[in-house]
Amino acid sequence: MSNLARLITSPRALMIFEAAARSGSCGAAAREFNLTQPSVSRNIAGLEADIGVALFTRSPRGLQLTAEGLVLQRALEDGFQKVADAIQELMDRRGRKQVVELSLSTAFVTHWLIPRLADFQLAFPEVDLRFQLIAGTLRGGPGTVDLAMRMEAETTADHHSWPFAPELIVPVCSPSYLKAHGTLDGARRDARHTLLHFADPLLDWDSVWGGLVSRRTPNKAWIEFSDYAVVVQAAMNGEGVAPGWITVVSHALRRGTLVPACETRIRTGRSYHLVASRARPVREVTLAIREWLSAQMAQDMETLAPLLGDSAVAAH
């Protein structure tokens, strides 16, 4: 541009010339730039004086490009189109959202993340989420998704791993159910309870209920579901007592739509981690989302600390 400024007096005259050449009329160019026709003529005359050649011949039929004018028009047409394409690309890029794919449990998304989506969108207005949902136990590697939640012990050679939350199970029910039936471990041990069980082949009975109840416990009815999201929803609806994994029910406990059904807290000694494959670089937006998820969970754990307490049993 600095060299062009030395060659001609007014770079804007190039745009006026291109409009006149395209339309074949000084009047049309004047309307396009909101100028008078004499002003367009003066700009073109000034450009011709700078270059030292005639760009148009004038006739009763309008403007006709000279051979030199045709050379300049073709160069400007190509150059202006490239500039327009570049500007459009930048504008599209500004409006384009980043897609981040997450592999999470259906229950976690339903009962923990969806209630926070408005806050997430405020924090990440440039992100569109895509979910790979798992109805049962979280297992396997992250695959091709950006970020996954898995039960992990430590970072492996295959993927990055960041601690998210301990595996802590709190038997939960709705406030109305608790009022009608009492606690599982209270004075009314003969009260009839409905237990909402998450049936998963990778989970044994004691790891879920911590020995609190068994199949032979009297006055207990059982309803089993293979999708944990449904287990939690049934508990919210007042249908019975469910094992409440803290990574799923923490939001409902904070809101009071679920309450502990007893004093027992089952700590398995395991923990959930957020993981990402090492097969490709982890994007900055993925790391930011990981930090946001972890911060939200940490806030839940801090708020619920008095409710969770230290009273716990180890899973058998």
Residue-number span of the structural domain to which 45 is assigned: 2-95
Mean pLDDT computed over every residue of the chain: 86
Same-domain pairing of 181 and 71: no
Residues 136-160, mean pLDDT to the nearest whole number: 79
- Count of domains for the chain: 2
CA dist 30 and 7 (Å) reads: 24
On whether both 127 and 207 belong to a single domain, the answer is: yes
Mean pLDDT of 267-288: 91
pLDDT at 96: 63
Does 125 lie in the same domain as 86? Answer: no
Residues 272 and 304 in one domain: yes
- Where does a domain end: 36, 70, 95? 95
User: Does the predicted model carry a pTM greater than 0.75?
Assistant: no
Binning pLDDT at 50, 70 and 90, where does residue 297 land?
very high
In whole angstroms, give the CA distance from residue 173 to residue 259.
6
Once rounded to an integer, what is the mean pLDDT over residues 258-276? 92
Q: Are 133 and 104 in contact (CB under 8 A)?
A: yes
95, 129, 155 - which closes a domain: 95
Whether residue 198 sits in one domain with residue 82? no
User: What's the confidence (pLDDT) of residue 241?
Assistant: 94
Name the range with the highest mean pLDDT among 43-57, 141-155, 187-201.
43-57
Please check whether residues 125 and 205 belong to one and the same domain: yes
Q: What percent of the chain has pLDDT over 90?
A: 44
- Cβ neighbours for 82, distance < 8 A, ≥ 6 positions apart: none
Domain boundary residue among 95, 130, 161?
95
> In this predicted model, what pLDDT tens digit does every residue of 76-95 receive, in sequence order?
888 888 887 787 776 666 65
CB distance 275 to 161 below 8 Å? yes
The average pLDDT across 237-259 equals 95
Output the six-digit token pair for 104.
């999470």
Average pLDDT over residues 152-158: 62
Instruction: Give alpha helix (H) positions in 222-283.
Output: 228-236, 246-255
Residues 102 and 79 in one domain: no
Instruction: Quickly state the pLDDT bin for 108 (edges 50, 70, 90).
Output: very high
Q: Are residues 232 and 275 in the same domain?
A: yes
Mean pLDDT for the stretch of residues 23-39: 87
Look at the block and give the residue holding tokens 């899973």.
315
Within this chain, do residues 253 and 294 fall inside the same structural domain, yes or no?
Answer: yes
